[in-house]
Amino acid sequence: MLTQIINARILTPQGWLKDGSVLIRDNKILEVTNCDLAIIGAKLIDAKGMYIVPGGVEIHVHGGGGRDFMEGTEDAFRTAIKAHMQHGTTSIFPTLSSSTIPMIRAAAETTEKMMAEPDSPVLGLHLEGHYFNMAMAGGQIPENIKDPDPEEYIPLLEETHCIKRWDAAPELPGAMQFGKYITAKGVLASVGHTQAEFEDIQTAYEAGYTHATHFYNAMPGFHKRKEYKYEGTVESIYLIDDMTVEVVADGIHVPPTILRLVYKIKGVERTCLITDALACAASDSQTAFDPRVIIEDGVCKLADRSALAGSVATMDRLIRTMVQKAEIPLADVIRMISETPARIMGVLDRKGTLERGKDADIIALDKDLNVRAVWAMGQLVEGTNKLF
């Protein structure tokens, strides 16, 4: 089956293409061209002048549609993934908050089963924890938090093949050995829920930690101890040019002015956008998987309001927040939801841009940046055919 999207403003790696077309055959992009003459035999889709951009690559998301990935079941995974795909996510790394080893094993089993399915949006499992600084636990479940334990993580990575990212606080005992071990296994090591200062971050970077988990959240910035001033985790990460960052771009976890600052300092190629969404995202649910969490002011918080605990955002909200509130050009915002996370997670060879030979993961956005259609691996996502 040959499909042709015409009459579109298409974002290519070279920039915007006006009045071009995208040709899709089966699950791949056959061609992106500046000619929108109809091809005989192709199924024509008139984009009506809308933006046609790469699908979102979500590298940090806990759930959606009323279900949480910590449940570990296939039903929970499918429900949450479907909910996010209706909002522009086409590739996903399901994320577990600090969990027990049996919970991780259950989620890994489900992840591996789904990764093996044809044209699956699931690209791997992300473990956010449980090797964190207790003082920076935030919305994490405190009883699951501990120091890195090789008797846990070595067998887990030997037995499974789906863990693609693991976050830890680098100042903990054993964190450097942990970082070296997991990166040798091809797993992205990320700094998170930490009180690390510059020497910790520098050492961590040398040990393989190249990414920062929800930058600015659950990490200190510039601070004083008595009369002296110290750099925080934030400034330390800024100073290491090649460290990449992710930001929860809902306009609440990080205010628009700071989103603009991250973009200005780290740039498009080292900044990606995440939802960090909980189960209540993309649903009518008013409860979170964790009973300590409440939903208020368009965000998830601990009930005592001591910390944010995740978002209710979806991929389209990230786009609108960055363009409309942080005033960042749409092309750069799209790259930060697609190309950059694909590069960080090592899947840019097949995801993240609209180019010949890549997977046909595509979003149609109207002038108000609402999602009007989503194609994942060339298939129109159920509930998103609002072009017609």
CA 61 to chain centre: 6
Helix (H, G, I), strand (E, B) or coil at 12: strand
- In single-letter form, the type of residue at position 68 comes to D
Which residues share a beta bridge with 209? 189
d(C-alpha 8, C-alpha 16), whole Å: 10
Catalytic-labelled residue, pool 68, 167, 276, 359 = 276
| 330: exposed, middle or buried (Cβ count in 10 Å: 0-12, 13-18, 19+) | middle
d(C-alpha 277, C-alpha 3), whole Å: 33
| 151: exposed, middle or buried (Cβ count in 10 Å: 0-12, 13-18, 19+) | exposed
d(C-alpha 279, C-alpha 183), whole Å: 29
To which H or E segment does residue 212 belong? strand 209-212
Residues 57-85 as b/e (b if ≥16 CB within 10 A, e otherwise) read bbbbbbbbbbbbbbbbeeebbebbbbbbb
Under 8 Å between Cβ of 132 and 140:
yes
CA gyration radius for the chain? 20
Distances (CA, A) of 108 to 92, 102, 159: 14, 10, 10
| 253 annotated ligand binder | no
| 126 annotated ligand binder | no
| 214 annotated ligand binder | yes
d(C-alpha 31, C-alpha 34), whole Å: 10
**Bridge pairing between strands 2-12 and 43-46:** parallel
> In this structure, what token pair is assigned to residue 374?
């989503």
Annotation says 276 is catalytic: yes
> Which residues fall in the annotated binding site for Zn(2+)?
128, 193, 214
List active site positions: 276
Numbered residues of the known binding site: 128, 193, 214
